């Protein structure tokens, strides 16, 4: 085999390798790049959505804590007022008229 034949065979193998490389790049590497890009976009979306949901969850918990505190305060005040009413009602020293005047103040 002469140098020209060797060179031509080498060029042909090089062209085949180059074509294979281009096909590989086009068919696989570009698709993988698109998949990775899509996954990054989805990851960003889920990350921001997760942060939004976490913030919403914290706001709900905070709101529930305020409502619970308000409920307990109101419940305590109601118990105190109820006890005061019972004391007034069962106070035999007060006339019915005085009891009504006291109730009207509340």
Given a cut of 70, the residues of the chain with pLDDT beneath it are 1, 99, 103, 105-106
User: Domain coordinates of the chain in residue numbers?
Assistant: 3-105
pLDDT for res 99: 67
pLDDT for res 60: 98
Spatial contact of 88 and 102, defined as CB atoms under 8 Å apart:
yes
* Integer Cα distance of 33 and 101 in angstroms: 83
How many other C-beta atoms can be found within 10 angstroms of the C-beta atom of residue 102?
15
pLDDT for res 67: 97
pTM metric for this prediction: 0.53
CA 93 to chain centroid, in Å, comes to: 62
pLDDT for res 66: 97
């Amino acid at each position: 085999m002469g140098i020209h034949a060797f060179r031509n065979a080498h060029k042909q193998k090089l062209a085949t390798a180059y074509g294979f490389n281009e096909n590989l790049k086009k068919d696989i590497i570009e698709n993988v790049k698109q998949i990775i890009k899509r996954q990054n976009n989805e990851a960003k979306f889920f990350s921001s959505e997760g942060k939004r949901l976490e913030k919403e969850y914290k706001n709900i918990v905070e709101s529930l804590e305020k409502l619970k505190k308000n409920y307990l305060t109101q419940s305590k005040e109601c118990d105190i007022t109820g006890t005061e009413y019972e004391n007034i009602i069962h106070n035999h020293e007060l006339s019915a008229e005085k009891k009504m005047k006291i109730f009207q103040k509340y």
